[in-house]
Structures are given as C-alpha cells and as structure tokens.
Structure 1
Amino acid sequence: MKRNIPEKENKNEMTYIQQHLANERTYLAWIRTAIAIMGVGFLVTNLHFTMREAISGIEDFIARMIGLFSVILGIVTIVFSTVNYYQKRDQINQAIFKSPKITVFILSALMTIVMIIFFAYFLSI
C-alpha cells in the first residue's frame, strides 16, 4: 500500500536522508537504554527476593523501589525519546536544530535517583 506523501515533505525527507537515518539510530539507542534500565531493575529485585533468606523490611522496600523506579524510568525514557524523535524529524525537515536540553536533564536526574537508590540498597546489605 503506497502512502500519499506531499511532494514538499518527500523532497525534504530525501534531501536530509542521512540526518533522518541518524535520528532513527539515536531513537533506537534510547529504546535499548530504556530496556536495559528496566532489566537492571528487574534483576536487582529478582535477585533480592530469591537469594536472601533473612530479609529486613527496609531492604524489601528499597528493592521494590529499585524495581519500580527502574520501570518508571524506562517508560519515561521511551516516551521522551519518542517525542524527541518526532521533534527532530520535523526540525530536520525545516533545516533547524535545537538540542534536547530539558529531556537530557530530566532523564539524567531520574537516572541519578535510581543510582542513589541502588547505592542505598547495597549499603543496607
């Protein structure tokens, strides 16, 4: 099924094909990162509850928070990367560029929170 693409949009897409392909690679890298973040959260939570015989309340809470925050951070990363992908796509077609300062800051801050929780967890063991 052939999609009807306006001539102007098609011309811009072809003019900046390398930039569009780079944008797609960046998007896929963000998706892989989100999956890895969620995977680490599941791993820590699963290891905590299967490897420990004597579990304290605070350790359980921290392990659950690691899992929860990792999943939330992974979902937020997917949402932000998808929005960023479409913004970049439009910016490439309009021949303008704006760096994603807010997205990078928010994701970095959230990842720092997860790392602090990891650190607290490993200190409590």
Structure 2
Amino acid sequence: MDRNKKDDIPFKPNDHLANERTYLAWVRTGIGIMAFGFVVVKFSLFVKQIGFALGTKVNTASHGYSAIIGIVLVAMGVLAILFSFLQYRKTDQQLRSGAYQPSTVLTSVLTGVILLISVVLIVYLIQSV
C-alpha cells in the first residue's frame, strides 16, 4: 500500500484528481456519442423536410436504418456515461483502500462496440450510394 507519509492517507490528492479527470473525459465521450446519434436520426428527417419545403419528393436511397443506428448510438452514449460512473466509483474505493487494480474492461468494450457500429455505418453508407 502506497501511503503518503506526511498525512498518513492511503492515496494522494493527485490520484483522486486523475480519477475525476478520467471520469469527465468519459462523460464527454458519452455526450459526443449521443450527439452523433442525434445527428444521424435528425439528418434523415432534415432531408425529408427539405423535400417538403421545396415541394418535391426527395428520393433517398436509404433503407430507414438511420433512426435505428442513431438510437443505438444515443443508448451507447448513455451506457458509456453510466459505466464510466461505476468505474469512477470503483476506482475511488480502491484508491481509498490502497488496493488499486487497473482495469481496461470499459475501454475495451466501448472500443469494440464503436468499431462494430462504425462497420455497420460504413456498410449502410456504401449501400446508400
């Protein structure tokens, strides 16, 4: 256990601050993913509204998957924020007890899901062209 000799506390304030910065970075990532999902959903609606405003039917090659993809992205952003909070609390407890064990589970899962959704988006865009 790494103790600060001066105050006899199990962790340094820098450890706690680093944990908070990491949590806030994950929150920003989650918000970014949610915003991207919102844009994906609203873009198809925007294209339809432009057609109505111009008085013509805009013929898009989409299969209507943008709403599903967008909703999945928003849900993924929410889950990223939730899991980052749980990771923050777990790390905080470990730092307080002096038994910190690093974990890359959240990073690995989020990377895998983003990679999967990226492939789906690429396939969707190729089919739409």
Q: Same fold (TM over 0.5)?
A: yes
The total of aligned residue pairs comes to: 113
Check conservation: 2:40, 2:67, Cα contact below 8 A: no
Structure 2 residue corresponding to 1:78, chosen from 78, 81, 84:
81
- One-letter code aligned to 1:19: D
Pairing 1:102–2:102 present:
no
Structure 1 residue corresponding to 2:9, chosen from 9, 12, 37:
12
Structure 1 residue corresponding to 2:95, chosen from 92, 95, 109:
92
- One-letter code aligned to 1:41: G
Q: Distance in 1 between matches of 2:121 and 2:114?
A: 10
The SS at the match of 2:9 is: helix
Q: Distance in 1 between matches of 2:99 and 2:59?
A: 58
CA apart distance, 1:102:
2.0
Q: Distance in 1 between matches of 2:80 and 2:74?
A: 10
- One-letter code aligned to 2:89: Y
Check conservation: 1:41, 1:70, Cα contact below 8 A: yes
Check conservation: 1:19, 1:92, Cα contact below 8 A: yes
The answer for the alignment partner of 1:24 in structure 2 is: 20
* Sequence identity percentage: 27
Q: Distance in 1 between matches of 2:86 and 2:113?
A: 17
CA RMSD, aligned part only? 2.1
The answer for the alignment partner of 1:49 in structure 2 is: 45
Q: Distance in 1 between matches of 2:15 and 2:28?
A: 20
Q: Distance in 1 between matches of 2:123 and 2:37?
A: 14
Pairing 1:64–2:67 present:
yes
The answer for the alignment partner of 2:53 in structure 1 is: none
Q: Distance in 2 between matches of 1:48 and 1:65?
A: 11
The SS at the match of 2:100 is: coil
Q: Which one has a larger percent helix, Structure 1 or Structure 2?
A: 1
Check conservation: 1:16, 1:93, Cα contact below 8 A: no
Pairing 1:114–2:117 present:
yes
